[in-house]
């Protein structure tokens, strides 16, 4: 639980572990410590716990248990999906072409950049519209005979927009191209039924849905050509070597059970607060714009840009008054740069640095929203009063 002396509005960065998840994990830090790969009874107790968690995840995804590979989190799942599919294609002497968007998380973007520069892959980056979305028509037009994989972020971590995954899947299926989605942000709120979505690979990370950090999963549709990238033991059907992290896997299984059971009530709670937040920010703070799609966005996600505001400075000032938030600009001392996602939206230069992400969750209250809007308004007014850019505009 976030501490009561602060307002935590960064649930997209991470969520606190649900108390039931902590309770479920505890025995596996103690008495039940056997290695699931050992054949003795102690080992088998660990193995059974891992398989129960796998079943819980498979049930939430509407897939078979054998299609789930446990990983260390969203980044590793993304890496295994991209590198594994590329390795499998190269084994068949193909030079793979991959398609992605201009608004991916670094776990995808930097992996693809390396696959291009060092591993002889061709990558197409699709531009997005003003809301950060791509269309099925764009994907269809980019597919070539040598295209192996399309990889798209399901719900955007910075701007909350939800891509039209089922439409993209239709195009990919028609062309015989694999579709991977990064569902790391989506899993807490949106459907993750892999058949309804029509995807071949999907990445998850437990700490974004009230599970523990350091554990995730990759869904791999049966029959998908993929090669192991972390070699060693034969765990996870030979696709991910390494002794299972039993407590964390158990925690992920419990977290997905809780998230699925509570989804409707959770979404109603967060969407109400998010709408309040967006409405109050846009009506009380001048020169503020919502980023991402106005309606096709994560129920808990509010993101903005403010004209002539330095997002990093804004974050530090919010932190000083007890509010944890996030920005789309990377903090590199003396040289603030807008993120690739913010740049891709085509905003004017004087808006790009002033991005702010406020993501609400289980423990957020209406009173916290009211305090946040008030503090934000005060801080922005003060910052603009001393901003050289604003001074220049007013003369
Ligand atoms: C969309 C998305 N993908 C991947 C990741 C990486 O997840 P992790 O840091 O758990 O490896 C994140 C984390 O912020 C994310 O938001």
CATH number at residue 144: 3.40.640.10
Ligand 1 centroid, distance to 383 Cα (angstroms): 31
Pocket test for ligand 1, best of 112, 163, 183, 184 (most atoms within 8 A of CB): 184
Contact 240, 220 (CB under 8 A): no
Which residues lie below 8 Å from residue 85, measured CB to CB, with a gap of 6+?
Answer: 96, 148, 149, 178, 180, 201, 224, 225, 226
| Residues 73 and 168 both lie in one domain | yes
Split into its structural domains, the chain has a count of 2
Average pLDDT, the chain: 95
- Residues at CB less than 6 angstroms from ligand 1: 73-75, 78, 105, 107, 153, 157, 182, 184-185, 205, 207
| Residues 105 and 127 both lie in one domain | yes
pLDDT band for position 393 (cuts 50, 70, 90): low
Residue 238: DSSP 8-state: G
Is the pLDDT at 70 greater than 90? The verdict is yes
- The pLDDT tens digits of the residues spanning 326-347 come to 986 665 455 578 999 999 999 9
pLDDT of residue 1: 77
Ligand 1 centroid, distance to 95 Cα (angstroms): 28
pLDDT band for position 273 (cuts 50, 70, 90): very high
| Residues 241 and 311 both lie in one domain | no
Instruction: Name the pTM for this structure.
Output: 0.96
* CA–CA gap between residue 34 and residue 47 (Å, rounded): 8
| Residues 169 and 135 both lie in one domain | yes
Burial 158-196 (b: 16+ CB within 10 A, else e): bbbbbbebebbbbbbeeeebbbbbbbbbbbbbbbbebee
Is the pLDDT at 136 greater than 90? The verdict is yes
Pocket test for ligand 1, best of 72, 76, 79, 105 (most atoms within 8 A of CB): 105
| Residues 322 and 356 both lie in one domain | yes
Could you say which of 207, 237, 259 is where a domain stops?
259
Q: What CATH number is given to the structural domain containing 386?
A: 3.90.1150.10
Establish if 193 belongs to a structural domain: yes
What residue has token string 């590793």? 76
pLDDT band for position 113 (cuts 50, 70, 90): very high
Establish if 1 belongs to a structural domain: no
The boundaries of the domain holding residue 387 are 7-12+263-394
Tokens of 204: 């998850």
* CA–CA gap between residue 156 and residue 109 (Å, rounded): 13
Share of the chain above pLDDT 70, in %: 96
Ligand 1 centroid, distance to 168 Cα (angstroms): 22
Say whether 330 sits in a helix, a strand or coil: strand
H or E element in which residue 335 lies: none
Could you say which of 241, 259, 277 is where a domain stops?
259
Per DSSP, helices labelled H in 64-179 are 74-91, 106-118, 136-142, 165-175
* CA–CA gap between residue 347 and residue 324 (Å, rounded): 25
Is the pLDDT at 394 greater than 60? The verdict is no
Dihedral sign for Cα 189, 195, 196, 197, please: positive
* CA–CA gap between residue 67 and residue 86 (Å, rounded): 19
Q: Which residues pair with 303 in a beta bridge?
A: 357
Ligand 1 centroid, distance to 204 Cα (angstroms): 8
Contact 100, 181 (CB under 8 A): no
Say whether 173 sits in a helix, a strand or coil: helix
* CA–CA gap between residue 35 and residue 169 (Å, rounded): 39
| Residues 193 and 229 both lie in one domain | yes
| Residues 290 and 148 both lie in one domain | no
Contact 142, 125 (CB under 8 A): no
* CA–CA gap between residue 265 and residue 263 (Å, rounded): 6
Average pLDDT over residues 256-275: 98
Tokens of 216: 């995730």
| Residues 248 and 311 both lie in one domain | no
User: Can 121 be counted among the known catalytic residues?
Assistant: no
Contact 150, 177 (CB under 8 A): yes
| Residues 103 and 160 both lie in one domain | yes
């Amino acid at each position: 639980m976030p501490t009561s002396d602060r307002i935590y509005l960064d649930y997209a960065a991470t969520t606190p572990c649900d108390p039931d998840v902590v309770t479920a994990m505890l025995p596996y830090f103690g008495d039940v410590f056997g290695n699931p790969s050992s054949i003795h009874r102690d080992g088998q107790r660990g193995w059974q716990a891992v398989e129960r968690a796998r079943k819980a995840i498979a049930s939430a995804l509407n897939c078979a248990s054998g299609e789930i590979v446990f990983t260390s989190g969203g980044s590793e799942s993304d890496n295994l999906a991209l590198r594994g599919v590329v390795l499998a294609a190269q084994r068949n002497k193909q030079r793979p072409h991959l398609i992605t968007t201009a608004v991916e998380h670094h776990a995808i973007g930097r992996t693809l950049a390396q696959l291009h520069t060092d591993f002889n892959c061709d990558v197409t980056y699709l531009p997005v519209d003003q809301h950060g979305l791509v269309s099925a028509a764009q994907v269809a037009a980019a597919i070539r005979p040598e295209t192996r994989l399309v990889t798209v972020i399901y719900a955007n971590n910075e701007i909350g927009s939800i891509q039209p995954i089922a439409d993209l899947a239709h195009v990919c299926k028609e062309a015989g191209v694999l579709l991977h989605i990064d569902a790391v942000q989506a899993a807490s709120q949106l459907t993750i039924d892999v058949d309804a979505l029509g995807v071949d690979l999907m990445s998850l990370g437990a700490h974004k849905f009230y599970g523990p950090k350091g554990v995730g999963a990759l869904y791999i549709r049966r029959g998908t050509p993929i090669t192991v990238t972390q070699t060693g033991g034969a765990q996870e059907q030979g696709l991910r070597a390494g002794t299972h992290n039993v407590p964390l896997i158990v925690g992920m299984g419990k977290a997905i059970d809780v998230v699925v059971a509570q989804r409707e009530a959770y979404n109603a709670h967060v969407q109400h607060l998010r709408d309040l937040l967006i409405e109050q920010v846009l009506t009380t703070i001048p020169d503020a714009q919502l980023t991402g799609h106005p309606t096709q966005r994560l129920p808990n996600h509010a993101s903005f840009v403010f004209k002539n505001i330095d997002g990093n400075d804004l974050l530090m000032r919010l932190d000083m008054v007890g509010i944890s938030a996030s920005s789309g600009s990377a903090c590199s001392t003396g040289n603030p740069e807008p993120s690739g996602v913010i740049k891709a939206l085509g905003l004017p230069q004087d808006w790009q640095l002033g991005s702010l992400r406020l993501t609400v969750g289980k423990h957020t209250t209406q009173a916290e929203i009211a305090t946040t809007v008030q503090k934000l308004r005060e801080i922005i007014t003060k910052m603009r009063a001393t901003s050289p850019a604003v001074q220049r505009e007013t003369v």
